[in-house]
């Protein structure tokens, strides 16, 4: 259950990541360092017209100039679990009139998706902004307030770029690191509260 914490190196994941706690939607590191994480959507820049590209570029420059703190950009590549998707899709339509009416077409679509995922790995990229606070005179409440304010500013400015955002909560943060260190188990073993409690005991 705690394979999340294992790797091929002598150092544990705890030592590598330097995590002390995950609380209040904040990743807490040693030496009073704190991180908030925001997941963001993407824009297909190449499909935009030249005028749209100019507008996006200008808005992005304004976004960078308005940053209240430094940021880090993290991109995670995950393999999509399409079998779960198709199973849930079929189950959601069982009592739907559309399923009865278009049963053959729906089943053909599900078979196509399952065959496609069986022959090819379907990958998706997830984009995150990491917002740091490193110096608050050992004052956690001050650090928490600063992170909340900075996240709010950053998310509001990202909406001007027509990007949707979501600040990761405690469970989301666990999911993020769980997927990094155990991608295969992550696909088949959902994180529940029992697992979170065990992970907390191991990394704190």
Write out pLDDT tens, residues 114-162.
787 777 777 788 999 999 999 778 899 999 999 999 999 999 999 999 9
Q: What are phi and psi of 35, to 5 degrees?
A: -140, 135
pTM: 0.74
Burial of 203 (0-12, 13-18, 19+ CB in 10 A): buried
Per-residue pLDDT of the chain (204 residues; tens, 9 = 90+): 334 444 444 455 555 668 888 899 999 999 899 999 999 998 888 889 999 999 999 999 999 999 999 999 999 887 777 777 777 777 777 777 766 677 778 788 888 887 877 777 777 889 999 999 997 788 999 999 999 999 999 999 999 999 999 999 998 998 888 888 877 777 667 676 776 677 666 655
Question: What does the domain layout of the chain look like in residue ranges?
Answer: 3-79+127-203, 81-121
Token pair listed for 203: 């990394």
Closest C-alpha to 67, from 127, 128, 132 = 132
């Amino acid at each position: 259950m705690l394979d999340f914490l294992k790797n091929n190196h002598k150092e544990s994941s705890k030592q590598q990541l330097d995590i002390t706690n995950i609380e209040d939607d904040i990743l807490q590191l040693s030496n009073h360092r704190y991180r908030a994480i925001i997941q963001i959507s993407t824009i297909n820049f190449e499909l935009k017209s030249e005028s749209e590209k100019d507008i996006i570029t200008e808005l992005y420059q304004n976004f960078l100039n308005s940053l209240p703190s430094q940021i880090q950009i993290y991109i995670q590549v995950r393999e999509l679990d399409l079998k779960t998707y198709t199973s849930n899709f079929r189950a959601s339509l069982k009592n739907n009139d559309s399923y009865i009416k278009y049963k053959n077409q729906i089943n053909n679509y599900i078979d196509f998706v399952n065959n496609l995922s069986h022959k090819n790995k379907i990958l998706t990229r997830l984009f995150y902004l990491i917002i740091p606070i490193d110096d608050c005179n050992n004052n956690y409440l001050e650090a928490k307030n600063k992170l909340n304010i900075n996240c709010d500013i950053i998310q509001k400015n990202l909406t001007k770029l027509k990007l949707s955002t979501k600040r990761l909560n405690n469970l989301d943060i666990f999911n993020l690191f769980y997927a990094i260190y155990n991608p295969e188990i992550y696909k088949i073993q959902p994180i529940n509260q029992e697992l979170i409690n065990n992970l907390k005991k191991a990394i704190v």
